[in-house]
Amino acid sequence: MGETAQDRLKMLLVLANMDTPPESVPLNKLMAFPGTPLEGQPEIDSFDFVRTVAVARILLPRAFIRLSAGRETLSDELQALCFLAGANSIFYGEKLLTASNPAPDQDRALFNRLGLRVLS
């Protein structure tokens, strides 16, 4: 959305310093849909996204760090890096509010490849 790495860090610090830190922290990768105000924004660098996940994990050790909107644009390899960096949850299902999500069978196949198990 045009924010800097410093902006993302400040946001995570605010969350981590709340009296009761959040149990769930969704991390979105901008989906700059045509015709929206953010249409022309550059994408976040893949390694910066992974670093954001890692910092979120360190600052919020008890939270579910969730890969959220924009996950459909993340390669399996990038999602794997995010899980290794500390993401431990996704939003599951074929559609979020306005954007599609990876199909459930894709998610299950990725989890199997990575040796991840699903909590119920």
6 versus 106: the higher-pLDDT residue is: 6
Q: Three-state secondary structure along 3-34?
A: CCHHHHHHHHHHHHCCCCCCCEEEECCCCCCC
Q: What percentage of the chain exceeds 90 in pLDDT?
A: 47
pTM comes to 0.83
pLDDT level of residue 99 (50, 70, 90 thresholds): low
Could you give the CA distance from residue 90 to residue 69 in angstroms, rounded to a whole number? 9
Dist. CA 56–CA 71, nearest whole Å: 17
Q: Which two tokens stand for residue 3?
A: 């924010």
Rounded distance between C-alpha atoms, residue 35 and residue 115, angstroms = 40
15-35 pLDDT tens trace: 999 999 999 999 988 676 678
Q: Mind listing the domains of the chain with CATH numbers?
A: 5-114 (3.40.50)
pLDDT value, residue 57: 98
